[in-house]
Amino acid sequence: MELVYPLGLAYLASHIRDRHEVELFDVNLHRADPYAALESCVRAFAPDVVGFSLRNMKVGMPHLHTDDFEPQQKAIQLVKRVAPAAKIVAGGTAFSLYSEVMMRRLPEIDIGVWGEAELRFRDLLDDIDHPEKLAGMYFRRGNDLVYTGQPGGVEWKDNLPPARDLVPHAPYMASSFVSVGVQAKRGCSLHCIHCSDTFLLGHRVRMRPPKEVVDEMELLVREHGVHQMFMCDQIFNIPVAHAIAICEEITRRKLEVKWSAWFNEHRNTLPDNLMVALKRAGCGLLSFSPDHVDDRMLRNLDKNFRHEDMLYTVQVAKKHGMDVEYSFFLNSPGEDWRSLAAIVKFLAHARWELGGQLRLFTLLMMQPIRIYPHTRLHELAKETGLVDPDHQLVEGQFWNPGTLQHAVAGIQAAAHSVYDLRAGWRKARGNTFDSVVRG
């Protein structure tokens, strides 16, 4: 996939670098032979502790929808073999979503840390033999797996800016326009039925002071030559005032930066003054994940907006000359031919109105919903017999029932072919970066 700057690790590093010697290693930078690179890094550094940031369980590309467990297992086993005395600590979103399963499947992990971990990872390293003293820790006692109970999220006042100097930004900049991320808030107040972000970060939106967000962006521009960023918030435009404050701060400092973010579709969250502020501040793309356009389906998915808001997104993008992209799910709960056709009709309308301002890449990624643990959709899938109640969901289970799955297969095959054609075309023109190409 495209590279993603290891922001979680950079946050953790900033809290421990004054007490420990720290190295960040992104295995994804070594595509030719990641395991050999990891092995030589571990041998050279000889660590006491190896912290694994396990990010994705799902792989989703236009030509591939699969799982990512095996490479994570292989990497962890390799480190255990190369540095048997080092403690292995696992964290990250994939770990947190599947924590118990990961602890059971991977006995090489000594300690698992659930959730946002800046402060608790620091405290754990101070006394690594006693994880029981901290919340959110998984460890083993004899044959039993112990969990010390749910921790709270990290407040911005207790956080530090991420250590941006430990991994060079250049390869990420070369990889894609979303590869260097900046965070402006954590949490989401909405309740989409399939969502696992709110399990990880909660519904309370913790806003980072706009000045601190833009300080980090300024550092990226001036010290690291990064001019293209992605806002890693669940939703950038809720609350609107926070989004505007960030834009105004970027504009006030005259930062030469282009960026994009995920936006909510409700028209009240896209007022004209926000659009003006976004444009001035260098936001070049509104990324929407509406998942559907049909009112009945939007209700089923528990979305906070309706079809008329979707039409408004087109109108507002046209009015302000902004690029947009949309992601949709196929065959989600209640889908029928009519609702599927509504997506096609909406896209035709958006293309007609917006022309090239409508970016197509995310449409190549359309797929049924992958069912994540700790979601209402998972409960529904168990109730309706769509998944076995004991399924661990590490190996992907999708909400894709009935005859529409044949239509889904057809759409995905077409997307795969279009993507291959685009990739072939780019290769012929000399672009050989071995990654998903979003442009």
Per the listing, tokens 């070594």 go with: 30
Identify residue 254 by its one-letter amino acid code: K
Task: Work out whether 195 is an interface residue with ligand SF4 (CB under 6 A).
Answer: yes
Judged by CB under 6 A, the chain residues 209 through 238 that form the site for ligand SF4 are: 234-235
**Angle ∠(181,184,188) on CA atoms, nearest 5:** 105
Judged by CB under 6 A, the chain residues 83 through 112 that form the site for ligand B12 are: 89, 91-94, 97
| Distance, CA of 315 to CA of 50 (rounded, Å) | 50
Q: Report in angstroms how near the CB of residue 407 gets to ligand B12 at its nearest.
A: 21
- Which span (32-40, 77-85, 126-134, 186-194) binds ligand SF4, by CB under 6 A? 186-194
144 in helix, strand or coil?
strand
Q: How far is CA 96 from the centre of its chain?
A: 13
Nearer to ligand SF4, 235 or 283 (CB): 235
- Which span (156-164, 190-198, 277-285, 397-405) binds ligand SF4, by CB under 6 A? 190-198
Judged by CB under 6 A, the chain residues 358 through 377 that form the site for ligand B12 are: 372
Candidates 89, 124, 167, 190; binder of ligand SF4 (CB under 6 A) is 190
Q: SS in 3 state form for 223-262?
A: HHCCCEEEECCCCCCCCHHHHHHHHHHHHHCCCCCEEEEE
**With 0-12 CB in 10 A as exposed, 13-18 as middle and 19+ as buried, what is 290?**
buried
Candidates 27, 34, 37, 58; binder of ligand B12 (CB under 6 A) is 58
**Angle ∠(60,88,148) on CA atoms, nearest 5:** 90
Task: Work out whether 178 is an interface residue with ligand SF4 (CB under 6 A).
Answer: no
| Distance, CA of 262 to CA of 236 (rounded, Å) | 6
- Which span (177-185, 189-197, 204-212, 271-279) binds ligand SF4, by CB under 6 A? 189-197
Task: Work out whether 309 is an interface residue with ligand SF4 (CB under 6 A).
Answer: no
Nearer to ligand SF4, 231 or 235 (CB): 235
Nearer to ligand SF4, 173 or 235 (CB): 235
DSSP state of 334: T
Residue 235 binding: pick among ligand B12, ligand SF4, none (C-beta 5-8 Å cut-off by kind): ligand SF4
Radius of gyration of the chain (CA): 22
| Distance, CA of 258 to CA of 271 (rounded, Å) | 21
Nearer to ligand SF4, 191 or 252 (CB): 191
Task: Work out whether 197 is an interface residue with ligand SF4 (CB under 6 A).
Answer: yes
Terminal-residue alpha carbon distance, the chain: 14
Q: Could you tell me the two tokens for 247? A: 């834009």
Candidates 188, 277, 293, 324; binder of ligand SF4 (CB under 6 A) is 188
| Distance, CA of 260 to CA of 91 (rounded, Å) | 27
Contacts with ligand SF4 by CB under 6 A lie at: 188, 190-192, 195, 197-198, 234-235
Contacts with ligand B12 by CB under 6 A lie at: 1-2, 4-5, 7-9, 11-12, 51-53, 55-60, 89, 91-94, 97, 113, 116-118, 121, 154, 178-181, 183, 196-197, 200-201, 230, 232, 234, 372
